[in-house]
Structure 1
Amino acid sequence: MPDDPAGKSGRSPSSPVVRFDAVTRRFGAFTAVDHVSLDIGRGEFFALLGPSGCGKTTLLRMLAGFEQPDEGHILLDGVDVVGMPPYERPVNMMFQSYALFPHLTVAGNVAFGLRQEGWNRSDIDARVKEMLALVKLSDFAHRKPHQLSGGQRQRVALARALAKSPKVFLLDEPLAALDKKLRDETQFELMALQQRLGLSFIIVTHDQEEAMTMADRIGVMHAGKLVQVGTPAEIYEEPRTRWVAEFIGDINLFDGKVADYGGGLATVDTASGSFDVVSKDYVQAGDNVCVAVRPEKVAIHRAEPSEKENVLHGQIADIGYLGDLSVYKMRLDNGMLIKASVANTDRHAATMLHRGDAAWLSFAPDAGVLIRS
């Protein structure tokens, strides 16, 4: 793992509302969370992103108090909450299952936690009314959960979790049960809600698009470690490891060796050719690296382009038409498969090239990212 997982920007919040300090959690011989340190700012929408089993949910559950770390400290607003029971922590958590009480109405579900805390009736009624208005369910107060759609049940769970005004709101795969169109709509609703309330939201997800859409910053987890933290643009455009580059979106990777470096430009010899790549990090001749290039940064040509740098030749192996763009799979002369994606700005763009056509690919020196192998 990099020594500085916060990334090159180094923009850790100066006064974090949440701080994980070298937190470790083991289950027998298995280490679910491995010495994770992370600061999350006030009013920040933060996403923990990673595949199943990477430790992201365990980290969230430790913050909520449902798990206790074996090592390290968890500070919430400057107070170490390790050992503190969940009900004493100023956080609330929304689960993937929503966990609504089927025998209670929508209003009863939202009011449940407030009654448990001993709020008086008039304050409960006012708060429930406010929360249902916030999630646009005022007309559904007297319905039962089985009378609601999946999206409406999700909003009830959201209102119930927010009713007690937590300092930090935790969301564990909250949109997983929704269909894609509703999930996309709900993402923007959550963003608007978070901005309106000014709370810190921490969401756990394995969905890259979800994290990239909603989060101010993303923490990418792999095998219990935090491997990179940054804005969505930093994570996508400047992956710090090969694993992050492959996990986030589509990527073309060319393994090679640095032949020369000077003036911020590295020449890398690979099995597919010699490439010039802009590099912010110092490298030297002989270093093993891989050149990472996103498909949308690869241009495709019918004829050999006039520029000679970073040009590849091959044959179109397959074409995927996705409406807004077409994805071309091209088999290079050395047998390697490369992807290029092209926006369909022309109505007939998808018919310009065909499977089996010879073609050329090219990418600019600043389109590639150099990753140490």
Structure 2
Amino acid sequence: MPAAPVKAALGPVRRAFSPWTDPAAKPLIRFENVTKRFGDFTAVDNLTLNIYEREFFALLGPSGCGKTTLMRMLAGFEDPTEGHVFLEGRDIVGTPPYKRPVNMMFQSYALFPHMSVTDNVAFGLKQAGMPKEERAKRVDEMLTLVKLTQFAKRKPHQLSGGQRQRVALARSLALKPRVLLLDEPLGALDKKLREETQFELTDLQVTLGMTFLIVTHDQEEAMTVADRIAVMNHGEIIQVATPGEIYEQPNSRYVADFIGDVNIIPGKVENNASGNVKLKSEWTDAPILVTNPVECAQGGDAWLALRPEKLIVALEPPPPGTPNVLAGEVWDIGYLGDLSVYRVKIPSGDIVKATVTNRTRLVERPISWEDKVWLTWAPEQGVLLTN
């Protein structure tokens, strides 16, 4: 039996895609000085944002930060109190949802329970007046795309959660919108299926060459699927960047703390010369050395954002002169299979979190509770923040 053809990797396509770095590139979607108020509550506050064609863009933030309101304004379910929403250079404020080349996939999927999979996918096409033969062809195309051809005659209640999610996706894509809006689309799936579907979603988006805008509060989901992420809080955008930049170069304590695990070490700038900063902190007697360039005033407050995986945990003290050393006692241990998480209490009373990859099968734990350990990290591993 011949082997199945190997699908070409889409990684090179995603790596080469960065229109936001081109000053001449025009955005497909632009929110310009948009504010949305509900009575006395400001859901979106004077926000400006560009999203480019074929981009997979994520709005990420806690509940109530304004991300869903922003998506609903693009869909036409809400109008901004102030500002403009442009799509392909045209202001669409006041344009009804059905006249916008935008489709939305809801968190609840909103499938018709009395209709088959085929009829659910065909519903929008029928409403749009597409001829029957063309409609049938489009439905077949969509079901093939989401790998549901064999379930065409089933009703939603006869499908798994992941299959219902794919039906909703096929229905949303059937009309071939310019922009697909995804409101927490994977929230109802279990962890393993959600992780698998994230990669399928990115492959689908690249294959179709469409613009996807996803709203989520799940940081891992946003980091996996998105070309860029906008981190939001209280109706404002705090940072817009690629997943790697958001994680490795956060622009504030809020972003550093919101994305993944992090240790935030407070201090004051003791010396700032030639791109090297010495930070005096109550966490350690010796100054902390940071080599990433940052504008900070001598004597000013600053914070070092240090990811747990950047720390080295050892049972023996490092050689004299080693920079950035914290000694402490193992306070707690979490075993996650691929990782062990150590919570180390240092003399100041603060807890430092470090993660270590479990490269061998765990028979006896080399580092245990109440062991004295030394934590070290390279000067370039931390990110100095001033706000």
TM-score (norm. length: structure 2): 0.92
Query: What is the letter of the counterpart of residue 316 of structure 2?
Result: A
| SS of alignment partner, residue 21 of structure 2 | coil
CA displacement 1:244-282 (0-9 Å, x = unmatched): 111111110111110001111100001012200123222
Counterparts of residues 291-310 of structure 1 (less than 5 Å): 291-306=304-319, 307-310=321-324
Shift of 1:93: 0.3
- Which residue number in structure 2 is paired with residue 124 of structure 1? 135
> Is 1:281 matched with 2:291?
no
CA contact (8 A) 2:58 2:229 kept: yes
Kept in 1, the 8 Å contact 2:20–2:52? The answer is no
Per the alignment, residue 105 of structure 2 pairs with 94
Q: Tell me the CA shift for residue 346 of structure 1.
A: 2.5
CA contact (8 A) 1:311 1:361 kept: yes
**What corresponds to 1:220 in structure 2?**
231
1:351 is paired with a residue whose SS is: coil
CA contact (8 A) 1:344 1:350 kept: no
Q: Conserved in 1, the CA contact under 8 Å of 2:229 and 2:240?
A: yes
Instruction: Please give the per-residue CA displacement for 1:277-312, whole angstroms capped at 9, x wherever unaligned.
Output: 123222231121001100000111111111521001
Q: Which residue of structure 2 lines up, in the alignment, with residue 65 of structure 1?
A: 76
Aligned to 2:369: 355
- Count, aligned residues: 365
**What residue is the counterpart of 2:146 in the other structure?**
135
Please point out which of 326, 330, 338 is paired with 1:324: 338
Matches within 5 A, 1:198-347: 198-273=209-284, 274-306=287-319, 307-347=321-361
**CA RMSD between the two structures:** 1.3
Preserved contact between residue 12 and residue 39 of structure 1 (Cα < 8 Å): no
Q: Which amino acid aligns with 1:228?
A: Q
Shift of the 76–349 alpha-carbon distance from structure 1 to 2, 3 Å rule, reads farther
Contact 1:259/1:286 (<8 A) preserved: yes
| Structure 2: stretches of 5+ with no match in the other structure | 1-18
1:260–1:284 contact (8 Å) kept in structure 2: no
In 2 relative to 1, CA 245–146 (structure 1 residues): closer, same or farther, beyond 3 Å? same
Identity of aligned residues (%): 57
CA distance in 1, matches of 2:131, 2:20: 46
Aligned-residue offset at 1:151: 0.6
CA distance in 1, matches of 2:236, 2:348: 36
Partner of residue 153, structure 1: 164
One-letter amino acid matched to 1:297: K
Runs of 4+ in 1 over 6 A off after TM superposition: none
Gaps of 5+ in 1: 1-8
Deviation string, structure 1 residues 22-58 (Cα, Å, up to 9, x no partner): 1110011100011111111111111000011100000
Is the 2:313–2:354 contact (alpha carbons within 8 Å) kept by the matching residues of 1? yes
Instruction: From the superposition, tell whether residues 349 and 197 of structure 1 become closer, same or farther in structure 2 (CA, over 3 Å).
Output: farther
Whichever residue aligns with residue 307 of structure 2, its letter is R
Distance across 1 between alignment mates of 2:20 and 2:259: 20
Question: What TM-score comes out, normalization by structure 1 length?
Answer: 0.96
Given residue 106 of structure 2, which amino acid in structure 1 is its aligned partner?
Answer: F
The amino acid across from 2:240 in the alignment is V
